[in-house]
Amino acid sequence: MVGGLRSYNIPIHRGLCLSCINKRSYKVFLMGEMTDLFFTLLAKLGRWFNVRGKKFCFVLGMICVLYWALRNGSMGLVVQTLGCFVSFGFHVYGYWNWSKKGFD
């Protein structure tokens, strides 16, 4: 299995057994989850800027999409990674288009 809890060397049997998790694996797992949460919330902030008509939303979107491209690529998810690069292109185009139209 690629990704998920197995990528953090946390054994899974009949659910998540906390007694089977050593402290290092749990810290790595938790850091990955916190980083994912940070970039997810950053993307939501970008959506808020988009609703407010601020072109900064595209900058936040580019940062988040690059993170997810790296994350997906590290897990071997090629199609997801390619989709992220397409989204990155849309963010660049959106920023350019809004700059041309005079959005701030």
Q: What is the tens place of the pLDDT at every residue in 55-93? A: 999 999 999 999 999 999 988 999 999 999 999 999 999
Angle at 16 between CA 13 and CA 21, to 5 degrees: 100
pTM for this model (two decimals):
0.70
The pLDDT score that the predictor gives to residue 1 is: 45
The pLDDT score that the predictor gives to residue 94 is: 95
Identify the three-state secondary structure at position 4: coil
Instruction: Report domain extents, the chain.
Output: 5-101
46 and 61 Cβ atoms separated by less than 8 Å:
yes
The pLDDT score that the predictor gives to residue 46 is: 94
Both tokens of residue 61? 């979107």
Q: What is the tens place of the pLDDT at every residue in 2-50? A: 545 555 555 554 455 555 555 566 666 667 788 889 999 999 999 999 9
